[in-house]
Amino acid sequence: MRKCILALAGMLLLLVSCRSEVDTSGRIVTDAAEEVTETSAVLYGYADLPEDGAGMKFGIVYSKDKNPTADNGRAVTSAAREADGRFSCKATGMWMMTTYYYRAFIKENGRYRYGKTLSLTTKDFPAAAQEAVDLGLSVKWGSCNLGAATPYETGDYFAWGETTPKTDYSFNTYKWAQAEKFTKYNLTDGKLALDRSDDAVQVSMGGGWRMPTYNEFRELLGCPRVKTGRGNVEGFLITGPSGKSIFLPAGGVRVGTALDLEGGRGCYWTSVLQSPNSYYSWTGFMQSNLMVMSALSRTHGHSIRPVME
């Protein structure tokens, strides 16, 4: 009996402590969000601070959790209020077509006081089939990976210079290797760029479609990008000078028969070998908030994003 009473008391104490976080005096109020995009939103609040409240901070906390706090979400402190006490904060790095919960806060002496919780749902990225997107760069970029039906799918994986996906991405199964030597794109032929017959995009899609060059992918990486995702797929939303965007999912890497780092890393082939007879070919490499050009083993299975003139 005593254990039940103690447990009940503990629950009541927890409920009281949770309620105490929410301000009921009107000093901090959460307002409706505006300018909601695929990856960001402008969040508004109202803070009624005393004249001696110079040490107090105010802002917005947002999270996928229905009870957003500074512990489970991201707290953005606002720099200033308007004359009527209203303030705004920019929430960034959101996932596409995802519901977020947010509320205004006042932080005083290390303790947060929260306003009412509101919610918003970010916009969806157009789920178009493969099409050429004019980003305002030297080439047009495909809206999907090779082998994918929508921008959110990772598509198929290819070893460099191979035109069909497979189950084992190792040196022993590599098309251009035999007896521990490369039979093409080696010191004998001196080739650094893929022949059209070895370009997986050209073979699969035809027309003016092909794999990007090193310089074309590096140009893409010079565009503004936002780490985001949709569903369970992470990646980068890249926006070109034209204002249009493409989404590059982080599909992981196939090494041997395994798929490694799906959702945490993305590697996209270019049509260029690092040097004659090299084990490595140039890729657009993404991991965490980083996206750079990197030379990786050409026997591994990576994603491909088509381009066209």
pLDDT tens profile 193-250: 999 999 999 999 999 999 999 999 999 999 999 999 988 889 999 999 999 999 999 9
pLDDT band at 126 (very low <50, low <70, confident <90, very high): confident
Tracing tokens 């004659």 back to the chain, one arrives at 276
pLDDT at 32: 96
pLDDT band at 8 (very low <50, low <70, confident <90, very high): very low
What residue ranges do the domains of the chain occupy?
15-121, 132-308
pLDDT band at 127 (very low <50, low <70, confident <90, very high): confident
This prediction has a pTM of 0.83
The top-level CATH class assigned to 15-121 is mainly beta
Average pLDDT along the chain:
89
| Lowest-pLDDT choice from 82-86, 93-97, 235-239, 268-272 | 82-86
pLDDT at 11: 42
Give yes or no for residue 35 having a pLDDT over 70. yes
Over range 38-44, report the average pLDDT.
Answer: 96
Q: How far apart are CA 209 and CA 213, in angstroms?
A: 12
pLDDT tens profile 150-190: 999 999 999 999 999 999 999 999 999 998 899 999 999 99
Q: How far apart are CA 112 and CA 20, in angstroms?
A: 10
